[in-house]
Amino acid sequence: MRRPTWYRPDTGLTIRMIMTMVFLLALYAAFILVLGSVTHSFIIFVLIALVLAGLQLFYADKIALFSMNAREVSPQQAPDLYAMVERLAQQANLPMPKIYIADTSVPNAFATGRNERNAVICVTTGIMNRLNNAEMEAVLAHEMTHILNRDILIMTIATFFAMMVQLILRSLYWTGLFGGFGGGYGGRRGRNDNGAGAFLIIFLVTAIVSVVSFIMTRTLSRYREYAADRGSALLTGSPGNLASALMKISDSISGGRIPNKDLRDAQPASALMIAPLAVNGDDLGELFSTHPSTQHRIEKLMAMQAQMEAAPRTH
């Protein structure tokens, strides 16, 4: 049995994702090796970052739901939503996630939870009012794919390293500022007059690694969004439904508002929203954002539709 082409994974996307992951791993490994050859005192930051990442994995869902003021709904309270998600869960062979609704006019949806057993899908009343059934289902299928792909876990691991590097960078900054050169970072240095130079190099290397890892985790996040878009199209059988939903959502979100959110504030939970609060159309802005621009996402979805139309008969 041959599969129609559009069923097959997007090889280009997979390759780019693998390359990003390999690059990130190599970067962190090299960074730790270099740092480890100079001093061992950074181990404490690895531990702190580990604890933070662990907390994030277990509590990010609760924090996200709390900050959205979302409440869990029962099948009786939201029968239509349940019916939709149940069918999708069946289709994706996943256990039924919990359903939360947040009372806000901002149209959005996100998935959270560390694994498929603890998965939660949250939608806002704004998105429910704005989208029709087919579009709503496409959005839910996008979130379902995030669960299927274990995106929460993967993005937490990816941001764990970025978080660690940032911690080290900040501590280096304060150490440098207050002249603690002879302190924690001088462990293996032979002579003190070389200290300042070595410190500066470590500081610069850490800064560069921090920026590069930030951009790369964001890149990874965007690839995973594309993957979730594909998954949505596979589950619903119609890329057009998601494309149309994205158009409606982005119209009402990026109404020229200036975001209050800190750019460096990498949160895996919010990273899995269907559309972030501000997506820039320009490519430079996209480099730093968790989601591809709506325009790029729609282009990909339409390419998928074209593939479906051209699917040759296999039988």
> What residues line the site for another protein (CB under 8 A)?
1-4, 7-10, 13-14, 17-18, 21, 75-76, 79, 83-84, 86-87, 89-93, 95-96, 133-134, 137, 145, 148-151, 154, 223-224, 227-228, 230-231, 234-241, 305, 308-309, 311-315
Minimum distance from CB of 12 to another protein (Å)? 12
Taking the least distance from each CB to another protein, the nearer of 64 and 136 is: 136
Taking the least distance from each CB to another protein, the nearer of 89 and 202 is: 89
Minimum distance from CB of 238 to another protein (Å)? 4
How does strand 70-72 pair with strand 98-102? antiparallel
Angle formed by the axes of helices 195-236 and 133-148, nearest 10°? 130
- Secondary structure of residue 98 in the 3-state scheme: strand
- Secondary structure of residue 123 in the 3-state scheme: strand
* Angstrom distances, CA of residue 121 to CA of 19, 65, 92, 127, 167: 30, 10, 15, 13, 31
Minimum distance from CB of 224 to another protein (Å)? 5
Name the residue among 148, 139, 123 with its Cα closest to residue 242: 139
Taking the least distance from each CB to another protein, the nearer of 89 and 109 is: 89
Report which residue type is found at 103.
D
Site of tokens 């500066």: 200
The answer to whether 72 is a known catalytic residue is no
Among 135, 137, 143, 225, the one annotated catalytic: 143
- Cβ within 8 Å of residue 46, ≥6 positions away: 164
Cα–Cα distance for residue pair 302/296, rounded to 1 Å: 10
Taking the least distance from each CB to another protein, the nearer of 3 and 257 is: 3
Site of tokens 């939970």: 269
Name the residue among 201, 238, 176 with its Cα closest to residue 35: 201
Taking the least distance from each CB to another protein, the nearer of 93 and 129 is: 93
For the stretch 240-243, contacts whose Cβ atoms lie closer than 8 Å and that sit 24 or more positions apart, written own/partner, are 240/301, 240/305, 241/134, 241/135, 241/137, 241/138, 242/135, 242/138, 242/139, 242/141, 242/142, 242/301, 243/297, 243/298, 243/301, 243/302
Quick check: 271 and 277 in contact, CB under 8 A?
no
Provide the greatest CA pair distance for the chain: 77
Q: Residue 82 is encoded by which pair of tokens?
A: 């349940």
Minimum distance from CB of 34 to another protein (Å)? 27
Taking the least distance from each CB to another protein, the nearer of 75 and 281 is: 75
Active site residues: 143
